[in-house]
A and B are shown apart, each in its own frame.
Chain A
Amino acid sequence: MKAPLHYVLHLADSNLVLAQRLGEWVGHAPALEEDLGLANVSLDLLGQARLLLAYAGELEGKGRDEDQLAFLREESQYLNLTLVEQPNGDFARTIVRQFLFDAWQSGLCEALQHSRDARLAAIAAKALKETRYHLRYSGGWLVRLGDGTEASHRRAQEALERLWPYVDELFASEALDREVAGAGLGPDPAALEPAWSARVNEVLAQATLARPAHAPHPWHGKQGRHGEHLGYLLAEMQSLHRAHPGARW
């Protein structure tokens, strides 16, 4: 069985956009060791995105490869979660965004590795090992920041408040999600919420951070309707390929 094209694109795009965001830290992280740490996470996500985009290209059947899908689609054709396109902000905001995503992605991959789409299941099983490390990394940092100095605690709490409105979209079940879940191809996003909540609450408690109040989501990144930030990110990411089509190292 094969998953619908737009479902695979949604998964790929969330990884790709977040990988690009994390890549923006290279050369700018607060410490040389963190430069490498963030780049490692970025490259893991990019690797997953490549596998998913290559698969999406096959599902589409128009001969487009991973590069064409990554570099030649418009903003409205990107189906990533709105959370991952949010700017890096300070280090605390990057870590909070990463932690919220990692906790979601580890739950997703745990379910997706049992997908009836064998290709998707294999990609999820590989990604799960990587994302578990990412969660350890971002969770560790969140505790360090939240339970650190007065300034680091304040910044971490501010980052949580700022990013929390994008959380709702992680668990929003849309028609495509229900179709995927009904066919046993992937989890219903809503079903991932309880385990995610438990994981997040545990780390927030250790970090002495307060969980923000629930905010209903006005965001539809999964449907290709994005905020103001994605266009700039894509412009930077795609400029080289658009100026020099097919360029290789």
Chain B
Amino acid sequence: MSANRDWPLYEIFIRARSGLDHKHVGSLHATDARMAIEHARDLYTRRQEGVSIWAVRSADIVASDPAEADALFEPARDKVYRHPTFYDIPEEVKTL
């Protein structure tokens, strides 16, 4: 079970239905892009979970640094005026 230790890791995104966004569902090992799609199909769509698969090499994902979380995200905490909650919504507007 450890033979694939050297296989690159891929992140898998599945679109559940047409019109929806692809959602991250997990990761898997594969030697190449084609195998990543096949493994994703077998692992993540066997119960009709999706109609489209994206696979991205985990190494190609640029992530924010958890150590910088304060600098990145804290400043938004006290700026509640950025939420559009200060408007009176006319009753005629049904969907907003």
A2-34 with Cβ < 8 A to chain B: 30-33
- Chain B 14-49, CB-CB to A under 8 Å as 1, else 0, gives 000000000000001111101100110111001000
Q: Does B3 contact A (CB under 8 A)?
A: yes
- Compute how far the CA of A133 lies from the CA of B46 in the bound complex, rounded to whole angstroms: 13
A95 vs chain B, min Cβ distance (A): 13
Q: Are A33 and B1 in contact (CB-based, < 8 A)?
A: no
Most buried by B among A31, A40, A133, A137: A31
Q: Are B42 and A140 in contact (CB-based, < 8 A)?
A: no
Q: Are A30 and B4 in contact (CB-based, < 8 A)?
A: yes
- Compute how far the CA of A137 lies from the CA of B32 in the bound complex, rounded to whole angstroms: 13
Other-chain residue from A30, A31, A32, A137 in contact with B38 (beta carbon distance below 8 A): A137
Q: Does A36 contact B (CB under 8 A)?
A: yes
Q: Are B4 and A33 in contact (CB-based, < 8 A)?
A: yes
A134-189 with Cβ < 8 A to chain B: 136-137, 140, 144
Q: Are A144 and B1 in contact (CB-based, < 8 A)?
A: no
- The contact sample of 18 A-B pairs, CB cut-off 8 A, is A31-B3, A32-B1, A32-B4, A33-B4, A33-B28, A33-B29, A33-B30, A33-B39, A33-B42, A36-B42, A36-B43, A36-B46, A37-B42, A133-B41, A137-B38, A140-B35, A140-B38, A144-B35
- Compute how far the CA of A137 lies from the CA of B31 in the bound complex, rounded to whole angstroms: 13
- Compute how far the CA of A33 lies from the CA of B45 in the bound complex, rounded to whole angstroms: 13
A42 vs chain B, min Cβ distance (A): 12
Q: Are A31 and B34 in contact (CB-based, < 8 A)?
A: no
Which of chain B's residues have a CB closer than 8 A to the CB of A136? Answer: 38
- Which B residues are closer than 8 A to A by beta carbons? 1, 3-4, 7, 28-32, 34-35, 38-39, 41-43, 46
- Compute how far the CA of A37 lies from the CA of B43 in the bound complex, rounded to whole angstroms: 8
Complex: chain B residue closest to A137, CB-CB: B38
Complex: chain A residue closest to B4, CB-CB: A31
Q: Are A37 and B38 in contact (CB-based, < 8 A)?
A: yes
A151 vs chain B, min Cβ distance (A): 13
Which of chain B's residues have a CB closer than 8 A to the CB of A144? Answer: 31-32, 35
Which of chain B's residues have a CB closer than 8 A to the CB of A33? Answer: 4, 28-30, 39, 42-43
Complex: chain B residue closest to A36, CB-CB: B42
- Compute how far the CA of A31 lies from the CA of B31 in the bound complex, rounded to whole angstroms: 11
The 8 closest A-B pairs by CB, nearest first: A31-B4, A33-B39, A30-B3, A36-B42, A37-B42, A40-B42, A33-B28, A140-B34
Q: Are A31 and B7 in contact (CB-based, < 8 A)?
A: yes
A222 vs chain B, min Cβ distance (A): 31
Most buried by B among A30, A33, A36, A40: A33
- Compute how far the CA of A193 lies from the CA of B43 in the bound complex, rounded to whole angstroms: 34
Other-chain residue from A31, A133, A137 in contact with B29 (beta carbon distance below 8 A): A31
Q: A37-B39, A40-B42 known; 5 other A-B pairs, CB under 8 Å?
A: A32-B1, A33-B28, A136-B38, A137-B38, A140-B34
